[in-house]
Amino acid sequence: MVNIGILGVGTVGASVANILAENADIIEARAGKKIVAKSGVVQNLSKDRGVSIQLSDNPLDVVDDPEIDIVVELMGGVEKPYELVKRALENGKAVVTANKALLAYHRYELQEIAGDIPLMYEASTAGGIPVIGALRSGLSANHIESIQGIMNGTCNYMLTKMINEGAQYDQILKEAQELGYAEADPTFDVGGFDASHKLLILASIAYGLDAKPEDILIEGIENITQTDVAFAKEFGYEIKLLGIAKKVGNGVELRVHATMIPSESMIAKVDGVMNAVTIVGDRVGETMYYGPGAGGDATASAVIADIVDIVRGNQGPMLGYKKGLEKGLKLLSSDDIVTQYYLRLDVNDQSGVLATITSTLGNFGISIEEMLQKPIENEEKAKLLFTTHHCKESKMQEAIKELGKLDVVYGDIAMMRVEK
Ligand code: HSE
């Protein structure tokens, strides 16, 4: 028999305990051993958790319990779970965690501490979708060319509603929070940070890159307006918050931002709270993984998959391989990203303005691909919306600064990247 201790018996923790009990027959058949949730830890013992396991408010009752074989960490946060996971590993216990923030900051230290002891984290990225397993095992014959994913259900829900129903940002954020998908602090969702944690985890498996959130380009969906949505519709794009990892020569681009993507692409059709990740391997080609990125049972399903793998002895290096396996690969500076861009700016509606804009862009080697102009009611102004051909991020940033200095341009210039 294998005993499980759960740090954090909230929605996911309760699902883990309940699924282990309710699906015990199939889980035992697959793992080859009986797996039992023995105990759990909560902050507030007076709250009913809907589980029949023994509960304590002291994490050491699980981490130091000699009868516990596998510790499941579902607490959230970074430093406190780091100390507890470290202690559990030092006590010789295998660990399963769903904690993306913990891994975004400490995955390489934890891999070092774990050594040959299993430390698994399928539930940390895209919830119930077995995308970590796909990268660590299913695609292990491949060099990974790119990863592109909708990794935050809250943002995807909000964007879907804004695009399909014209819903307003604030109202729809409230709805997303009510669905229970949003982080305790929703700026983690709408600011792109949650997705960045997941992207960094995937990039470690794919490329062995030890980057932290501070090292990569992260933007959220806060500045998207119905004007952008109208442009996207007119020109056949969807807007998605994407996590993107892309190998370019000896460099890897890592970035999270709102992105215009062609409406006919598969990932553009992923709506609502669902997540999806597309991975391109050099041998397999394009593969895609779709499913629920959060939720009690879906996340618990991934946690239990890890438990079953550990019980089967089905491990391997935690991050797919040790750091630096892909020789010479380095993180590209965000200045060196090359992509297409969408710009939105308010301008004077008078002759010569367009020529001024295009010649300013031309000074940075940037040319326009598609354009739309919408008069602003009761003003002698217009909204100018356009996409550009490929250019370097640093050039685009400089061009935006120069555009902002023009007398004919008003207010802030909005920018979104376009991936085709
Ligand atoms: N806040 C996350 C989301 C939950 O909206 O997808 C899963 O990490």
What pLDDT is stored for residue 406 in this prediction?
A: 97
CB 24 within 8 Å of CB 51: no
Banded pLDDT at 177 (limits 50, 70, 90): confident
pLDDT at residue 324 greater than cutoff 60: no
Which of 175-189, 199-213, 272-286, 395-409 has the least mean pLDDT? Answer: 175-189
Q: Which atom of ligand 1 sits closest to the CA of residue 151?
A: 6
Q: What is the CATH number of the domain that holds 205?
A: 3.30.360.10
142 and 282: one domain?
A: yes
pLDDT at residue 315 greater than cutoff 80: no
Pocket test of ligand 1: the residue of 183, 185, 297 to mutate, having most ligand atoms within 8 Å of its CB, is 183
User: Does an H or E element contain 238, and which?
Assistant: strand 237-248
* Final residue in a domain of this structure, among 314, 331, 348: 331
What average pLDDT does range 154-178 have in this prediction?
92
Q: Which atom of ligand 1 sits closest to the CA of residue 182?
A: 1
In a domain, 111, yes or no: yes
What average pLDDT does range 220-242 have in this prediction?
95
What average pLDDT does range 164-180 have in this prediction?
89
What average pLDDT does range 245-256 have in this prediction?
96
282 and 173: one domain?
A: yes
Q: Is the CB of 12 under 6 A from ligand 1?
A: no
Q: Ligand 1 mean position to 104 CA, how many Å?
A: 15
pLDDT at residue 183 greater than cutoff 90: no
* Final residue in a domain of this structure, among 331, 357, 390: 331
Q: Ligand 1 mean position to 194 CA, how many Å?
A: 7
Rounded Cα gap, residues 53 and 39, in angstroms? 5
Which pTM was predicted?
0.96
115 and 167: one domain?
A: no
CB 268 within 8 Å of CB 129: no
Q: What is the CATH number of the domain that holds 12?
A: 3.40.50.720
> What are the tens digits of pLDDT across the range 353-367?
999 999 999 999 999
Q: Is the CB of 201 under 6 A from ligand 1?
A: no
Q: Is the CB of 232 under 6 A from ligand 1?
A: no
pLDDT at residue 56 greater than cutoff 60: yes
Q: In the predicted model, what is the mean pLDDT of the chain?
A: 95
Kindly report the protein residue whose alpha carbon is nearest to atom 8 of ligand 1.
294
What pLDDT is stored for residue 322 in this prediction?
A: 63
What whole-number percentage of the chain has pLDDT above 90?
90
pLDDT at residue 74 greater than cutoff 70: yes
339 and 287: one domain?
A: no
CB 119 within 8 Å of CB 95: yes
What pLDDT is stored for residue 93 in this prediction?
A: 98
Rounded Cα gap, residues 159 and 190, in angstroms? 10
Select from 127, 75, 122, 128 the least CA-distant residue to 102: 75
283 and 170: one domain?
A: yes
271 and 183: one domain?
A: yes
What pLDDT is stored for residue 176 in this prediction?
A: 87
109 and 207: one domain?
A: no
141 and 33: one domain?
A: no
In a domain, 302, yes or no: no
- Respond yes or no: is residue 395 known to be catalytic: no
* CA-to-CA dists, residue 62 to 76, 88, 201, 265, 353, angstroms: 17, 9, 26, 46, 68
Both structure tokens of 62: 């699980």
Q: Is the CB of 196 under 6 A from ligand 1?
A: no
205 and 267: one domain?
A: yes
Query: What's the DSSP call for residue 250?
Result: T
pLDDT at residue 235 greater than cutoff 70: yes
pLDDT at residue 95 greater than cutoff 90: yes
In a domain, 406, yes or no: yes
366 and 224: one domain?
A: no
288 and 342: one domain?
A: no
* Final residue in a domain of this structure, among 303, 331, 359: 331
The domain in which residue 340 lies consists of 335-418
73 and 150: one domain?
A: no
pLDDT at residue 328 greater than cutoff 80: no
State how many domains the chain has.
3
Banded pLDDT at 325 (limits 50, 70, 90): low
Rounded Cα gap, residues 38 and 20, in angstroms? 10
Q: What is the CATH number of the domain that holds 355?
A: 3.30.70.260
In a domain, 319, yes or no: no
Q: Which atom of ligand 1 sits closest to the CA of residue 157?
A: 5
pLDDT at residue 44 greater than cutoff 60: yes
